A = this chain, B = another copy of it.
């Protein structure tokens, strides 16, 4: 029997903005003329669900939290690192407003691309449009994976996923300064902050990770991976 698919709660989609490579020199210049760069400090709001969307964004540097809320509860859809597109759902003329909110986990630089210009390029350059379709599809595959985990894995597995995601996809090393609070981790793995604390403690007791202040080091990657898979 072939190896089964392993879903992960990590939702850093590997979708660098390759679509822009599809643009001609002239189109690239046109895009640049319709782009502005904005810097955000940690914790600032990048876009707010429900507000008018005048631009598509790409994250130049930093780490962004993307979430939806209904006024009572909120759900973190994903965290996205540099190189990702943001607010793409607003290319659809029916969604004149942002479908989700975004804030910065850490200091972040975002390029705002005029939405009219972006749409113009879509309608002119099929290769560009095709590439955007590919990105959207990759995003949806990733979201489904996370969806699966949040509904089926239990807490230990979900938390392991986030830690592995940070190591593998965000920092690309096994030791890093954790930029997220316990509450942030709780939101990402849909559980309470208290539960996160208890489970981190357990991970430490079991010698899976070592924490010193903001420093987090994965000492038993394989076992953490196994917890992610089994649970």
Contact = CB atoms under 8 A, between A and B. Distances in A.
Interface string A70-88: 1111010100000000001
A143 B140 contact: yes
A4 interface: yes
Q: How large is the interface on A (under 10, 10 to 19, 20 to 34, 35 or more residues)?
A: 35 or more
A136 B129 CA distance: 12
Interface stretch (A25-33, A92-100, A173-181): A92-100
Given A123-B130, A144-B77, A49 B5 contact: yes
A138 B7 contact: no
Interface stretch (A106-114, A145-153, A208-216, A218-226): A145-153
How many copies of this chain sit in the oligomeric assembly? 2
A95, A124, A136: which has the most chain B beta carbons within 10 Å?
Answer: A136
Interface of A: 2, 4-7, 49-50, 68, 70-73, 75, 77, 88-89, 91-95, 99-100, 119, 122-127, 129-130, 132-134, 136-141, 143-145, 147-148, 150-152, 190
Contacts of A127: 123
29 contacts: A2-B50, A4-B70, A4-B71, A5-B68, A5-B70, A5-B71, A7-B68, A75-B144, A75-B151, A75-B152, A88-B137, A89-B140, A91-B133, A91-B134, A92-B137, A93-B134, A95-B141, A99-B141, A119-B130, A122-B126, A122-B133, A123-B126, A126-B126, A136-B137, A140-B143, A143-B147, A147-B147, A150-B150, A151-B151
